[in-house]
Each structure stands twice: as C-alpha cells, then as structure tokens.
Amino acid sequence: MNDNRPNILFIMSDDHAAHAMSCYGSRINRTPQLDRIANDGMRFDNCFCTNSICTPSRAGILTGTYNHVNGVTTLATPMDNRLTTYPKLLREQGYQTAIFGKWHLGIGPQHCPTGFDDWAVLPGQGFYHNPEFIFKGPDGGSRRTIPGYVTDLITDMTMSWMDKRDPEKPFCLMCHHKAPHRPWYPDEKHDAMYLNETIPEPPTLQDDYANRAAAAAEAHMRVGVHMNPLDIKADIPNNMPEAELRSWAYQRYIKDYLRVVASIDDNVGRILDYLDENGLTDNTLIVYTSDQGFFLGDHGWYDKRFMYEESLRMPLIMRYPREIRPGTINKDIVLNIDFAPLFLDLAGVPVPTEIQGSSFRALLQGSPPDDWRRAMYYRYWMHGDQCHNTTAHYGIRTLRHKLIYYYADALDQPGTTARPMTPEWELFDLEKDPCEMNNVINDPAYRQTVIELKTELHRLQDEVGDERYPLDTD
C-alpha cells in the first residue's frame, strides 16, 4: 500500500465494564483475547464518558462534542445524521469506511448511518439470536434477518468487509457489538460456563445508600428487586429478604453477563488473528472500548447512568505498534469525545474547530503534554426515566475528587418525567473512599476543596458552553 496512513479498527461493545476484563484486574472473569490488545498496546485507566448512557455516548464518540451541542441528551433523542462525524471526514480524505452492529442513534432517512461506504446495523437494541439487521440502501436501508448469534455475525460482517476492501486505501472500520447489553442471552458455546461456581460479590453489593444524596436510594436499579424475569431467567421471588435476594439474583445475572462477554472475547481473538494473518497488525490502530461502564452488583445495582466510577469509566485498550509501546498503562483523563479528534489526527486530517474533545496521540506516544486536562465535565440529563427513575445531575471528576450536583429537574428533555426533588450535592474523596460510600460534602475538612471544585466545575461549563442550573448559585 502506497498510502501510509493507518487503518482504524474500532471495536466497541455495549455496557462492558472495565472490571469484567482480566487486563483491568477483574476478580470475576478472564478475557485472554482482549488482554492481547492490552499486552501489546496501552491500557487507559481513566477513560470516562461524558453522559453514561448508550445513545448519547455514541453521539459524543462520533461527533467529538458534548450532548448539549450535538442534541443527543437522552435515549429519546435520535441523532441528526447530517452532523459532522469523524467517519465522514475520513471518507472525504480517501478512507474506506464501514460500520457493522449496534448503532442505536435512530433509524430511517434522518437518523440511519451516513458517511459509510457500507453498513449493516441492528434496529434499536437488536436481538442476540437470529437478529434482524438493516442494510445500507435507499430510504434508510432495508431489513433482513440473519440466522446465528449476534456477536459472531457482527464479527463475520467485519471480516468479510475487510476481505472485499481495496487494499491500496486505508480503512476506518467500526465493529460495534450489541453484547453485553441486558437482557443477557449467551450462545450455546458459552452457556455452561460458571455452572457450578460462585462468582465473587463486589464489596458494595449490600449498599444501603446511607450518607448519600437521595438519588442513590431512589434509583430503580437494584439487583433482584428491580429486575424482571428476563434478567435472571426466573421469576423474582417475592418472599426473600432483600439482602438475600440481591446475592441470589447477582449470581444469576452476572453469570449470563460474563458468558456473553466470553463470546465477545473469542470474537475479538478472531479479528486479531485475521489482522496477523493478513499482514495488517503493524499499520492498524485497534481500539476496544464500551459506550460506558456498568454496575456489576456494585452499590447493589445493575445498569449505569450515575456518575459513580463503575458507570463513568469506559474500558479502553489500544494497540498501534507504530506509536504505542507494548504493555503500557496511561492514567491521564481521556473522554469519549476525544476519540474522533485522535482518529483524525492519526490519519493526518485537520480537526474541525467545532470538535470539543482533544486528540490524545501524545498520550499514546508516552509523552502527555504538561497542560493535559486534570478534570472532566459530566452531565446525565434523563431525569425520572421510566425504567430506572434516575436523577438528572452534572459534576466534575478530577484525579482525586468527584463533585456531583443532582439538580433533579427534567428540563423538558425527551424521555424524562417531571419529578420534583430538592437538589443535592455529593463529594467523594476517591483516594480515601474509592468505593464512593461516604459523601463528604458537609465535612468541614473539605470546605476549601468544595469551593475549588465548584469554581472548576463552573469554569468547565463555561468552556464547553453548557448552562448552569439556576439554583446552582455558589
């Protein structure tokens, strides 16, 4: 290939938490194929999403902008497909582009994928077994059901597209898995994993939400009591004490979650082997991430949405032999909106000024700039959503602290319910309290820290052009 620009192979799963990957020190499973990427590349320990929920995070990744800018604030705000995205910019500069798998940014002519030479995506969440796909075509594409297991099928499509591509031109290929989104349906190959094992419980499984903002106790995300029979493939017992129910339901759902993850791991291995066999390993940036994290029984929860660590953190591992030293770990703050500018930077394509994220190419190379961000801004908009009754909030995370403001107002956003609550603040010292069990907002020892963090929060809001909630007047 005369064109020396790198290929970009971007694998993203849905709701795969970093603490279910052995390269992140998982206590509950092994992911040998994903570990190959980390061992031969870089693991990012502080990659965060700017809004921990599917559709908004995906829009942030594609556009490189915050959700108040791209308009995709909740699950009920499909993305306008006329927006500028990194695949469009790469394609304009001669890249071959394609996406296979989960899209979840809306369907139909205004919302289907654009900027791709080829695509096949699941409608909405899609199904694990014998899924229907929408294939690229006029009027938003055409539907066809494909027999098989969804993670295998998306991988098959990814590899057969690589077979068909023009080898003289670089490619940007997105392999976006539905797995491991709930409800969890493993394939036959992994169905018997963990059958006679007890999976270790997280230390905060029996969290009672004392000394936290009311939002924690009010969320309908508790393992067992707020699940439905599809989540655990059994009826929810109505006569079991809640602590016992949490432990029982945890064992049932986490095993299916990990079985579904095992299929992702196998299929990532197939792709890595394909790159090796076709001489593509050296000139391809391979990325594995998830659209956000997930609570694996942490705080007694499943799901995400909160700014707490397990939900906020995205797993991120990257291999690119030309610029990344094998086996390296980065602890700088990287965001989902940084992916677009990084990919453009590596391809030598100018980054438009509208993009709010920053290329972290210098981090790949092991030389973070002195002025790299030391704090990130987060906002969850979907107040009082019907499934999980979560509370709208925004906040700031630094390397040491996290300040959250539950402004608790739907603000007429689509997909929300007006459910008046009193706004509340939370502050966590992540060094002393990594599990975020102890809100120290009223602790006099942190008075000065609170002042500094609020100032920085409001500065970040000004910088990204978001509006402060009217009652946040400090």
Asked if 98 touches Ca ion (CB under 5 A), the answer is no
Could you tell me the two tokens for 202? 């997280």
Q: Which residues contact 92 (CB under 8 A, 6 or more apart)?
A: none
Q: How many residues bind Ca ion (CB under 5 A)?
A: 4
Shortest gap between Cβ of 210 and Ca ion (angstroms)? 29
* CA–CA gap between residue 221 and residue 22 (Å, rounded): 25
Binder among 9, 10, 14, 36 for Ca ion (CB under 5 A): 14
- CA of 149: how far to CAs of 13, 135, 136, 415, in Å? 15, 17, 21, 31
The residue among 58 and 255 lying less far from Ca ion, judged by its C-beta, is 58
Asked if 298 touches Ca ion (CB under 5 A), the answer is no
Q: Which residue is nearest to Ca ion (CB)?
A: 54
Backbone angles phi, psi at 41, to 5 degrees: -145, -140
The residue among 14 and 266 lying less far from Ca ion, judged by its C-beta, is 14
Asked if 179 touches Ca ion (CB under 5 A), the answer is no
Please classify residue 152 by burial: count the beta carbons closer than 10 Å to its beta carbon, then call 0-12 exposed, 13-18 middle and 19+ buried.
middle
Could you tell me the two tokens for 407? 């402004």
With CB under 5 A as the contact rule, which of the stretches 194-202, 283-291, 319-327, 328-336 interacts with Ca ion?
283-291
CB 84 within 8 A of CB 63: yes
Of 305, 302, 320, 315, residue with least CA distance to 264: 315
With CB under 5 A as the contact rule, which of the stretches 13-21, 216-224, 233-241, 305-313 interacts with Ca ion?
13-21
The residue among 326 and 414 lying less far from Ca ion, judged by its C-beta, is 414
The residue among 170 and 180 lying less far from Ca ion, judged by its C-beta, is 180
Could you tell me the two tokens for 13? 């799963």
With CB under 5 A as the contact rule, which of the stretches 6-14, 135-143, 154-162, 276-284 interacts with Ca ion?
6-14
C-alpha count within 13 angstroms, C-beta hemisphere, residue 359: 17
Asked if 15 touches Ca ion (CB under 5 A), the answer is yes
The residue among 88 and 176 lying less far from Ca ion, judged by its C-beta, is 176
Shortest gap between Cβ of 52 and Ca ion (angstroms)? 8
With CB under 5 A as the contact rule, which of the stretches 5-13, 114-122, 268-276, 289-297 interacts with Ca ion?
289-297
Asked if 54 touches Ca ion (CB under 5 A), the answer is yes
Please classify residue 174 by burial: count the beta carbons closer than 10 Å to its beta carbon, then call 0-12 exposed, 13-18 middle and 19+ buried.
buried
The residue among 207 and 291 lying less far from Ca ion, judged by its C-beta, is 291
Contacts to Ca ion by CB under 5 A: 14-15, 54, 291
